[in-house]
Structure 1
């Protein structure tokens, strides 16, 4: 595996930087901040400053966590994508949508995301008065802004209103209450705009399709999604168009190439730092003689159209006389050779973002063109056109469901933000419409996960979500 792109350092330097910027249990209550004198030394040294940023990627990928697999499979079982042949105690509350405030997995996700945010904030603060060259300071600051936005995107979509922490001050953070969702999106957008301006397009010379650290186009890709979720349709279309027309990225004609490390449609991938190629491959592909940990829900299998090439992203195994289907976007369930990286952002989503933005601006012809890019790559007949916005949204949801299944929680977030089809014009969440039909314990309050009870007990300013 080519790790030169990360400019990794000897172990003693890595360890020293990790001690400086990583060791916090929680961001909302992170413990004693790093020594400022030591921090100044880090952020005025090219090598140590680079390693501080690389350390954020390393922490994300060194074990399975929210940004390395967990959000993918937890949101998939929370929605209508995956289930389990043998329901495991750890996952049952997600399958049945009966999470409690004391759920240890929810607590771990909250803690990990806020710990990563602390690292991002430390880098941003440390580089503001740094003596590094403008090019290095801009690059590293831009990556930290991007990664902060990425973490907040998942926090706000899982928990709703969360504390918006943009500093490392312990006393202020420990008393921080929850922030309105629109303000969190404003911060996400601001961070990504900063990242756009600070970052450049860069790539590995020997492997030009490896994009394993955030660049300006990664910021544009996540910005397009943030605008979409905020319903700023014109801005979403503009950001997605910037990616599509950049010509740095292209849809892979062969769906089997999409999730490889040298995929031409990869905008951002995270480099493996475990013994596995990817958390998804290691988790979804069953071990010999065992059933898959997660199997694809029958409703998702039935949603594939005949001759859809994306059916190659599904595999099956037989166990005790029963056939189980499981996600097969990633085809390696062990280590070397490292041919698959953790796909974070890819071009196909940008076509889907632009299609949705165009639908909402009544450009149904333009939306059909974008959806047909995805359908044609998948071996399906193009859509001739749409008779209404409602018909176009049905087609969009179908393409998003198939293209992005078992990938970073997209289906769950779509169900949460889309309008129910049976009552167009009278907003009811699509999640209520879909999940109430086959999840007996489904309640609308499950649209947001609980704020971890330990956090609420530590900080009276944190108000629990309804239903918990």
Structure 2
């Protein structure tokens, strides 16, 4: 356990002249705390390492957020990724290890503990700048814990940096409630000083570092997960109703949709994990590496499942205009290849330009979008549906249809503002799930959307949650899926075996004991 959490402190100074200069500082040596924390550059170096480590989390973010939802799949049943989608992972499976997220947490913990001490040693390190650095550390820690709690439910809650042998090696798991409360407390602390920036120098930094807007989005999603729907609406509205000149905005013109992925860092973006292979040899874990464009399907290929591909094609046939952005430009290759699996290709990260859909990136530079405005808007819609009442449901429906309008789709036909009282909560939630499935295809959100649906309100929609997964997962036996999904502990990943071995206080997820 200690091995995972140990911080490798950096030596040397930090250059901030470009994207990779800031993100690619790598640990070179273990430094004692007293020797290391001397200047503002030291603080930024550790922050830079936190963001760099977050980049290495992207393959896990994709696997954990997509495969169990079965809109994105891999064909191979026995592959390490196939085991995730078929709920067959073991504590030793390499694709379900949590160490990289704890490395990010460790970097954040170090900044939170030691950045204030630098003010006594570096006269140029003003409190305002220090507080700004703390806001970024709070975001990195909170985002990492949100991924961990959604995938493991209970995990060790580490809030101190591991810099020497004084820290205990054995740490028990904390409850889901405790972890969610820490995230919310962190966001409150980050916002309390008014030091969170709205912009940084350069577009890549504004979208690739934690801004006030990113903190709002993190809080909205955390509250949604915690079933605090009123607070989710509050923080979503901080973004939706913002008036600042450089705020993130929902891009309503259909032709703008693909700009979010090529070239990236769009006006709609709130927070993206940055890649730049051209100048800095980044890209090994980029989404354009994970989702390469091609028709040579192997057992390790990522693609849309056949049911998802049929949904994409059906939506394409319903569009009103020439720019059905999120399906044709972002998803299936229907006009180039007629049959599945060839038309199950994921194109949004590998394509470039929209005039010719066969133009393919030759470099692995696609950013990975964690939050964008459409996501926050649909978070609010989900919360409004859960809160209930005809006014809230009418507003939620309007948001769903606003997202559809951007892709030149007609409003949902099942219900309208005129007959909203004839709708049911289940009907509206499934409409929202469908909308999120199409809008955020391959963006690492599908499993968490389904999991909220299945677990919240005391497992109110558990039966339908199971049915949706079984309808879309064609790589596992239905009897197996039905059996495993009956046990809600199986909805979460196992605690890594090595950490169980090294930490006497850790207990395994009951399903995997």
> Shared topology, TM-score over 0.5?
yes
Contact 1:233–1:358 (CA<8 Å) still a contact in 2?
yes
Deviations 1:266-315 (A, max 9, x none): 01112215546672112212357565811211221233432253112114
* 1:286 to 2:285 alignment: no
Q: CA deviation at 1:229?
A: 0.7
User: Is there any run of 5+ residues in structure 2 with no aligned partner, and where?
Assistant: 1-15, 120-124, 352-359
Taking the aligned partners of 2:344 and 2:23, their CA distance within structure 1 comes to 43
SS at 1:314's partner residue? Answer: coil
* 1:361 to 2:387 alignment: yes
Q: CA deviation at 1:396?
A: 1.0
Deviations 1:318-362 (A, max 9, x none): 699962412222135756595x42212100011101111111222
Question: Equivalences for 1:197-346 in 2 at 5 Å?
Answer: 197-198=192-193, 199-203=195-199, 207=203, 210-247=206-243, 248-252=247-251, 253=253, 254=255, 255-259=257-261, 260-272=263-275, 274=277, 275=281, 279-287=286-294, 293-304=301-312, 305=315, 306-307=318-319, 309-312=325-328, 313-316=330-333, 323-332=342-351, 340-346=366-372
Deviations 1:398-444 (A, max 9, x none): 11111122112x111122121499x9984526542323454323203
Taking the aligned partners of 2:116 and 2:303, their CA distance within structure 1 comes to 48
Partner of 2:7: none
Partner of 2:466: 432
Deviates more, 1:370-379 or 1:306-315: 306-315
Partner of 2:490: 446
Partner of 1:375: 404
Distance 1:5 1:212, change over 3 A: farther
Taking the aligned partners of 2:361 and 2:282, their CA distance within structure 1 comes to 5
Taking the aligned partners of 1:144 and 1:331, their CA distance within structure 2 comes to 31
Taking the aligned partners of 1:101 and 1:236, their CA distance within structure 2 comes to 34
Taking the aligned partners of 1:72 and 1:348, their CA distance within structure 2 comes to 19
Partner of 1:124: 112
Partner of 2:356: none
Deviations 1:119-161 (A, max 9, x none): 1111111113331311210111110110000100001111110
Tell me which of 402, 421, 443 is aligned to 1:407. Answer: 443
Q: CA deviation at 1:90?
A: 2.5
Distance 1:344 1:321, change over 3 A: closer
Partner of 1:26: none
Taking the aligned partners of 1:370 and 1:113, their CA distance within structure 2 comes to 33
Taking the aligned partners of 2:259 and 2:88, their CA distance within structure 1 comes to 38
TM-score in terms of structure 2 length: 0.78
Tell me which of 58, 76, 88 is aligned to 2:66. Answer: 76
Taking the aligned partners of 1:71 and 1:428, their CA distance within structure 2 comes to 24
Distance 1:171 1:158, change over 3 A: farther
SS at 1:345's partner residue? Answer: strand
Partner of 1:350: 376
Distance 1:266 1:382, change over 3 A: same
Taking the aligned partners of 1:197 and 1:392, their CA distance within structure 2 comes to 36
* 1:459 to 2:503 alignment: yes
Tell me which of 79, 90, 96 is aligned to 1:89. Answer: 79
SS at 2:41's partner residue? Answer: helix
Distance 1:424 1:456, change over 3 A: closer
Tell me which of 177, 186, 189 is aligned to 2:181. Answer: 186
Taking the aligned partners of 1:428 and 1:457, their CA distance within structure 2 comes to 33
CA RMSD of aligned residues (A): 3.1
Taking the aligned partners of 1:400 and 1:321, their CA distance within structure 2 comes to 23
Distance 1:244 1:322, change over 3 A: closer
Distance 1:194 1:7, change over 3 A: farther
Distance 1:78 1:426, change over 3 A: closer
Taking the aligned partners of 2:23 and 2:282, their CA distance within structure 1 comes to 22
Contact 1:209–1:266 (CA<8 Å) still a contact in 2?
no
Deviations 1:203-249 (A, max 9, x none): 35564995211111100011000011111111100100110111412
Contact 2:294–2:345 (CA<8 Å) still a contact in 1?
no
Contact 2:210–2:271 (CA<8 Å) still a contact in 1?
yes
Partner of 1:111: 99
Q: CA deviation at 1:79?
A: 2.1
Taking the aligned partners of 2:182 and 2:460, their CA distance within structure 1 comes to 30
Deviations 1:58-106 (A, max 9, x none): 2322xxx32x233213432222112234556332311321011111222
Distance 1:88 1:328, change over 3 A: farther
Tell me which of 397, 415, 425 is aligned to 1:389. Answer: 425
Contact 1:224–1:236 (CA<8 Å) still a contact in 2?
yes
Partner of 2:4: none
Deviations 1:20-78 (A, max 9, x none): 6xx7xxxxxxxxxx52212332xxx12222222112112322xxx32x23321343222
Distance 1:172 1:224, change over 3 A: same
Deviations 1:357-400 (A, max 9, x none): 11122211111121122111111122423323222212111111
Deviates more, 1:424-433 or 1:257-266: 424-433
Taking the aligned partners of 2:493 and 2:266, their CA distance within structure 1 comes to 34
TM-score in terms of structure 1 length: 0.84
